[in-house]
Amino acid sequence: MIVHQCVQRSTEWHAARAGKFTASESGPFCAPPFEISLSVPNICDQLDLAGIPHKKNGKRADLLSLLPNPEQYLTLKDGAQSAIDRKLAEWAGEQRNDFQTDDMKRGNALEPIARQQYRTMLGLPCIEVGFISHDSLPIGCSPDDVVLSEDLDEDADPAEIGALMIGGAEIKAPAWHTQIRYLREGVLPDEYLHQVHHCMAVTGADWWDFFSFCPHVTQWTKTRDMWVADYWEAGKIPSFYIRTHRDEFTEQLRQGLEELAAEFLRQKAWLEHLAA
């Protein structure tokens, strides 16, 4: 893996992640198998090209079974193709809108507080990084924290994060009602399932933590672009913590990301050819 030491949401961070499938954008479309999505007219066209007799008003399953090699018509799920289109646009230089709602600004402002709570609870050395990209695939992630070996030598080179890394974390400061849901359900929230496994697929880590904390802020400083929690206390809602280990789903997602990346590179070459 390649570690990019930069401030998240900075110009350098945007440049590092441009054209790469990131953990925060990961979803069900990343996982194989890709589905056959030919419509009935598409199937009829392929049968006509192959000179295979068929009923124009036949059922889709019957028409599909007539194709000599139906597996060659496997296509990307709609979500995957949309993701590829966005990444091609990023690669071409499109500027992404980094708009943030008030809830997002609040969460970002409280994340350092939540991170400190996580580190205190964990008791292991941690480090913030901007972005981590895969050695060979156009995929990456922006961990909220990287956990290092407890045998870390004080003189170790921080640039060797890959060798020292043993895990990572997604750290959130959600709205209180969301935190209550996390506590009630007691599992990794569905909305972070793919993100967490994506991070492990990129970094090779064996585990990834999810930690959320809701401090009670008694005084804010707010500007148009930034919120700062001047004074806060723990409040009545406890923190939520769960560790997810690398498993079969991680491997399935990794395989899906490999296929997605290969298709992205194929379409990137096609776009470069058109522009030549």
Q: What is the CATH number of the domain that holds 246?
A: 3.90.320.10
For 239-275, what is each residue's pLDDT tens digit? 899 999 999 999 999 998 998 898 889 899 999 988 8
Look-up of token digits 């992630």:
141
Look at residue 71 and tell me if it is in a domain.
no
CA distance 29 to 32: 8
> Is the distance from CB of 73 to CB of 37 less than 8 angstroms?
no
> Is the distance from CB of 114 to CB of 212 less than 8 angstroms?
yes
Q: What is the pTM of this model?
A: 0.77
Torsion of CA 5, 7, 8, 10, to 10 degrees: -120
Look at residue 139 and tell me if it is in a domain.
yes
For 119-144, what is each residue's pLDDT tens digit? 999 999 898 889 999 988 899 999 99
Tell me, what's the pLDDT at 70? 63
Q: Is 114 helix (H, G, I), strand (E, B) or coil?
A: helix
Domain count, the chain: 1
Tell me, what's the pLDDT at 46? 77
Nearest to 47 by CA among 67, 65, 61: 67
Question: What φ, ψ does residue 51 adopt, rounded to 5°?
Answer: 70, 30
Question: What φ, ψ does residue 167 adopt, rounded to 5°?
Answer: -175, -175
Look at residue 165 and tell me if it is in a domain.
yes
- Mean pLDDT value across the chain: 82
Tell me, what's the pLDDT at 209? 97
Look at residue 169 and tell me if it is in a domain.
yes
Look at residue 81 and tell me if it is in a domain.
no
CA distance 181 to 189: 9
156: Cβ contacts below 8 Å, ≥ 6 apart: 164
Which is higher by pLDDT, 220 or 201?
201
Look at residue 42 and tell me if it is in a domain.
no
Nearest to 131 by CA among 144, 141, 123, 145: 141
First to last CA, the chain: 32
Give the structural domain span for 149: 2-21+100-261
For residues 9-48, one letter each, b for 16 or more C-beta atoms within 10 angstroms of the residue's C-beta and e for the rest, the string is: eeeebbebbbbbbbbebbbebbbbebeeebeeeebbebbe
CA distance 140 to 121: 27
Query: What DSSP line would sit under 222-263, residue for residue?
Result: E-SS-EEEEEEE--SSPPEEEEEE--HHHHHHHHHHHHHHHH
Nearest to 173 by CA among 243, 253, 229: 229
> Is the distance from CB of 172 to CB of 212 less than 8 angstroms?
yes
> Taking 90 as the threshold, does the pLDDT of residue 71 lie above it?
no
Look at residue 122 and tell me if it is in a domain.
yes
Look at residue 245 and tell me if it is in a domain.
yes
